């Protein structure tokens, strides 16, 4: 970067945001950037309101691409039927859950509905994971409907997991009839006679409310839908007493098209995007870091973004949840930067970055390699996020942009059309360095033995060629998380999903079912460990009953492997062979078969590569879950590096 430009930016006074380490540049910042080309194009400038006198007949032309909401009126319908009408307007085809007496009116309405199905799972937690997977796969609202009391408490982990991963999810829990409040009725969920599930969900959702009379239902439901759809997305909970669900509403308005309750984030100011563009363009060692909050932006502008970074030779790294948003086969890809990430990304970061652009990442522990001091090698930080509170929570930020990430990507692309690299020689040097870095790390990759025990690396290597086209991979929590992150290379349109927010074991077993039901045309694969598989493996029965051709790849080492290796790394007191964390060596093949799934076992290198094409074909033709149990070497150390020693330790010194 031009030293005069950087020096002038550094000398600017900054206003400290209350409660955060964000440094907000004043309005004069942009004017101090030297050697800037022409001002932002007119299409990106903010314009004030103007008065118009067009007639109503000219309104469609005036609005352009803007779409007005339209509604239809339903008369003499029950609250339960009105709720389903709202879900149908959101194009929700599937609701997940487990029935019970206090949710019966809604379940009965679902049974009557001609276009919506109710998928009954084995456990409410599993059905919440299914709703999560459905939402991630489709981009629509995930919906889970459970009964009162234990139905709601069982669903809690799945709902919290979706919320922390910013997945739009609506959970509807039953409730005893309002006239029974305070009588200690069976499964009453109030302060007066049980566990107050509204308050319980309030701590792990963006909104939790109770419907206590029919007239308020439309307003409160619409509020919950708005909350779930607002960026950043999240979970919302509605408690619905059985007598209220049966109440008749004289009139209720329902949207006629999806998206009526989706809030629109403001676009980033052109001046801020222009500043980010110029800082990147002039940087000597820039880096773009993509988080999961950039998913919609990359789905919309991925091709243009790729052309932009190639034009200026800007390398790209991703967080674990952002993995695959940028092709990991692209020469500019550094892979995942974070826990279990790429050594190439770590080396580039350790050599120093003068401009770091973070798009849609909170920079939490997974994303920062347990808050590694590596990130403090960034001289100028630009962070873009929809949520102001996450900006600056880990790194001091020089240019905070609270806006829709898509608008920033679009703006960067737009500005690049009229500009070339600031210094062609500098770009060529950076390209040579990145090429050398890639070749050096490729040469350092160890060759896997063709004989001997099956290692997790063998499994990843033999799985990777099949992650092409429209494949969705749902990765569970455990050692499988590290192996997938470190070894797999994802190329869009293939996608990979993780439950990092709550780091819930057993998530993928349910999520893959919801994902496959939501996008039946996609190949859906769950990568899980044996411990996670045992937690929710009974959901295989749900997949069998509903003819879901999902594929389960189970890493079977007969241990709670992440804990086993973590304890060994921290303490060293007990050997890995110690039975304390053993699972008892259950026969997972017979377990899967007993639930109606097709099951296979691989024990040697090369077997998975031979088996997978047949399994992929049978999953689609038979529409039955296929379970592959990979008997791996429990001694293989997962690629978590110093993560195990970081557990329980203090944060690294920013100056270290």
Chain segment 280-303, per-residue pLDDT in tens: 999 999 999 999 999 999 999 999
Phi/psi for 20 (5° steps) reads: -150, 160
Is the pLDDT at 66 greater than 80? The verdict is no
CATH node for 456-644 = 3.40.50.970
Q: Is the C-alpha dihedral spanning 97, 101, 106, 107 positive or negative?
A: positive
Please report, for residues 127, 139, 180, 220, 338, the alpha-carbon distance to residue 123 in angstroms, rounded to integers and kept in the order given: 6, 24, 27, 28, 33
Q: What is the pLDDT at residue 443?
A: 77
Return the percentage of the chain with pLDDT > 90, whole number: 73
Is the pLDDT at 24 greater than 50? The verdict is no
* DSSP 3-state of 556: strand
| β pairing state of 117-120 and 94-98 | parallel
Partner residues linked to 385 by β-bridges: 402
Q: What is the pLDDT at residue 249?
A: 95
Residue given tokens 């190639």 in the structure block: 310
Is the previous residue joined to 493 through a cis bond, with omega within 30 degrees of 0?
yes
Enumerate the domain spans of the chain: 71-255, 265-439, 456-644
Cα–Cα distance, 649 to 487 (Å, whole number): 27
Which of 66-75, 153-162, 458-467 is predicted least confidently?
A: 66-75
Higher pLDDT, 645 or 469: 469
> For residues 332 and 310, is the Cβ–Cβ distance under 8 A?
yes
Partner residues linked to 249 by β-bridges: 77
- Is the backbone of residue 624 left (phi > 0), alpha (psi -120 to 50) or beta? beta
> For residues 509 and 516, is the Cβ–Cβ distance under 8 A?
no
Confidence of residue 269 (pLDDT cuts 50, 70, 90): very high
Q: How far is CA 340 from the centre of its chain?
A: 17
SS3 content of the chain, % helix, strand, coil (to 5): 45, 20, 40
Confidence of residue 574 (pLDDT cuts 50, 70, 90): confident
Question: Nearest 5°: CA angle at 362, between 207 and 366?
Answer: 110
Q: Is the C-alpha dihedral spanning 210, 214, 219, 221 positive or negative?
A: positive
Q: Which residues of 431-445 are buried (b: 16+ CB within 10 A; e: fewer)?
A: eeebeebbeebeeee
Is the pLDDT at 47 greater than 60? The verdict is no
Q: What is the pTM of this model?
A: 0.88
Q: Residues 428-451: what's their mean pLDDT? A: 89
Phi/psi for 148 (5° steps) reads: -75, 175
Cα–Cα distance, 331 to 314 (Å, whole number): 10
Confidence of residue 64 (pLDDT cuts 50, 70, 90): low
Task: Find, among 127, 159, 148, the residue nearest to 194 by Cα.
Answer: 148
> For residues 214 and 247, is the Cβ–Cβ distance under 8 A?
yes
Q: Residues 246-270: what's their mean pLDDT? A: 90
The full 3-state SS of 108-165, as one line of letters, equals HHHHHCCCCEEEECCCHHHHHHHHHHHHHHHCCCEEEEECCCHHHHHHHHHHHHHHHC
Confidence of residue 561 (pLDDT cuts 50, 70, 90): confident
Is the pLDDT at 198 greater than 60? The verdict is yes
- H-helix or E-strand containing 613? helix 607-622
* DSSP 3-state of 175: strand
Partner residues linked to 253 by β-bridges: 73
Cα–Cα distance, 573 to 439 (Å, whole number): 39
DSSP string, 343-381: HHHHHHHHT-EEEEEEES----TTTTTTT-GGGGGEEEE
- 101-132 pLDDT tens trace: 999 999 999 999 999 999 999 999 999 999 99
Q: What one-character DSSP code corresponds to residue 44?
A: G
- 459-475 pLDDT tens trace: 999 999 999 889 999 99
Q: What is the pLDDT at residue 250?
A: 94
Which of 175-179, 267-271, 348-352 is predicted least confidently?
A: 175-179
Cα–Cα distance, 396 to 380 (Å, whole number): 9
Which of 35-49, 101-115, 630-644 is predicted least confidently?
A: 35-49
Q: Residues 356-371: what's their mean pLDDT? A: 94
> For residues 514 and 508, is the Cβ–Cβ distance under 8 A?
no
Q: Up-side HSE of residue 78: CA atoms within 13 Å toward CB?
A: 18
Cα–Cα distance, 480 to 290 (Å, whole number): 22
Return the percentage of the chain with pLDDT > 70, whole number: 88
Q: What is the pLDDT at residue 500?
A: 93
Q: What is the pLDDT at residue 649?
A: 55
Is the pLDDT at 17 greater than 70? The verdict is no
CB-based burial of residue 365 (10 Å sphere; 0-12 exposed, 13-18 middle, 19+ buried)? middle
Is the pLDDT at 646 greater than 80? The verdict is no
Q: What is the pLDDT at residue 232?
A: 87
For 415, the token pair is 């500005």
- 597-623 pLDDT tens trace: 999 999 999 999 999 999 999 999 999
- H-helix or E-strand containing 248? strand 248-255
- 384-425 pLDDT tens trace: 999 999 999 999 999 999 999 999 999 999 999 988 888 899
71-255 with 265-439: one CATH topology?
A: yes
Mean pLDDT score of the chain, rounded to an integer? 88
CATH superfamily of 265-439: TPP-binding domain (3.40.50.1220)
Question: Nearest 5°: CA angle at 46, between 44 and 48?
Answer: 145
Q: What is the pLDDT at residue 264?
A: 79
The CATH T-level fold of domain 71-255 is Rossmann fold (3.40.50)
Task: Find, among 380, 353, 368, the residue nearest to 651 by Cα.
Answer: 368
Residue given tokens 């241990």 in the structure block: 559
> For residues 130 and 513, is the Cβ–Cβ distance under 8 A?
yes
Is the pLDDT at 317 greater than 80? The verdict is yes
Which of 32-41, 263-272, 537-546 is predicted least confidently?
A: 32-41
Q: What is the pLDDT at residue 652?
A: 54
For 558, the token pair is 């007969």
For 250, the token pair is 């004289």
Q: What is the pLDDT at residue 653?
A: 53
Is the pLDDT at 324 greater than 60? The verdict is yes
């Amino acid at each position: 970067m031009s030293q005069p430009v950087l020096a002038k930016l550094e000398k600017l006074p900054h206003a400290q945001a209350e409660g955060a380490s964000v440094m907000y540049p004043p309005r004069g910042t942009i004017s101090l950037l030297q050697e800037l080309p022409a001002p932002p194009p007119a299409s990106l400038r903010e314009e004030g309101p103007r008065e118009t006198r067009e007639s109503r007949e000219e309104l469609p032309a005036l609005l352009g691409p803007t779409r007005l909401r339209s509604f239809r009126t339903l008369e003499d319908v029950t609250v339960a039927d009105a709720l389903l009408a709202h879900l149908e307007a959101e194009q929700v085809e599937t609701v997940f859950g487990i029935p019970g007496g206090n949710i019966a009116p809604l379940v009965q309405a679902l049974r009557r509905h001609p276009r919506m199905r109710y998928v009954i799972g084995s456990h409410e937690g599993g059905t919440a994971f299914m709703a999560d997977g459905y939402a991630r796969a489709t981009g629509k609202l995930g919906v889970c409907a459970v009964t009162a009391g234990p139905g709601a408490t069982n669903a809690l982990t799945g709902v919290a997991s979706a919320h922390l991963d910013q997945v739009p999810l609506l959970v509807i829990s039953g409730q005893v009839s309002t006239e029974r409040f305070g009588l200690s009725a069976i499964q009453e969920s109030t302060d007066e006679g049980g566990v107050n599930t509204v308050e319980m969900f309030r701590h792990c959702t963006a909104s939790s409310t109770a419907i206590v009379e029919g007239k308020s239902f439309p307003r409160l439901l619409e509020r919950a839908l708005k909350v779930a759809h607002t960026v950043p997305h999240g979970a919302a909970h509605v408690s619905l007493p059985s007598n209220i669900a049966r109440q008749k509403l004289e009139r209720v308005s329902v949207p006629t098209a999806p998206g009526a309750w989706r809030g629109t984030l403001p676009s980033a100011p052109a001046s801020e995007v222009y500043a980010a563009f110029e800082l990147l363009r002039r940087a000597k060692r820039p880096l773009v870091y993509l988080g999961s909050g950039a998913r919609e932006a990359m789905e919309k502008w991925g091709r243009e973004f790729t052309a932009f970074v190639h034009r200026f030779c800007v390398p790209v790294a991703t967080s674990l949840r952002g993995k695959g948003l940028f092709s990991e086969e692209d020469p500019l890809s550094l892979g995942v930067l974070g826990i279990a990430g790429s050594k190439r990304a770590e080396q580039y970061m350790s050599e120093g970055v003068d401009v770091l652009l973070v798009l849609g990442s909170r920079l939490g522990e997974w994303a920062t390699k347990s808050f590694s001091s590596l990130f403090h090698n960034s001289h100028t930080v630009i962070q873009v996020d929809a949520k102001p509170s996450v900006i600056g929570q880990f790194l001091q930020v020089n240019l905070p942009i609270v806006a829709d990430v898509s608008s920033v990507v679009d703006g960067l692309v737009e500005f690049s059309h009229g500009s070339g690299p600031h210094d062609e020689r500098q770009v060529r040097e950076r390209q040579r360095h990145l090429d050398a870095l890639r070749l050096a790390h490729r040469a350092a990759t160890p060759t896997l033995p063709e004989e001997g025990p099956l290692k997790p690396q063998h499994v990843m290597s033999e799985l990777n060629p099949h992650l092409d086209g429209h494949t969705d991979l749902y990765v569970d929590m455990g050692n499988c998380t590290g192996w997938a992150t470190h070894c797999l290379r994802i190329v869009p349109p293939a996608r990979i999903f993780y439950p990092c927010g709550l780091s819930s074991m057993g998530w993928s077993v349910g999520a893959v079912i919801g994902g496959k039901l939501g996008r039946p045309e996609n190949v859906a694969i769950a990568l899980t460990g044996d411990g996670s598989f045992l937690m929710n493996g009974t959901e295989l029965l749900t997949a069998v009953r509903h003819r879901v051709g999902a594929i389960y790849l189970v890493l079977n080492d007969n241990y709670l492997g992440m804990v086993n290796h973590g304890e060994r790394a921290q303490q060293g007191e007990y050997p890995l062979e110690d039975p304390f964390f053993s699972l008892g060596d259950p026969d997972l093949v017979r377990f899967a078969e007993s639930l109606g799934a097709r099951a296979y076992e691989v024990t040697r290198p090369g077997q998975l590569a031979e088996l997978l094409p047949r399994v992929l074909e049978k999953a689609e033709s038979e529409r039955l879950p296929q379970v592959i149990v990979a008997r791996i070497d429990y001694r293989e150390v997962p690629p978590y590096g110093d993560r195990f020693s970081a557990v329980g330790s203090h944060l690294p010194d920013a100056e270290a």
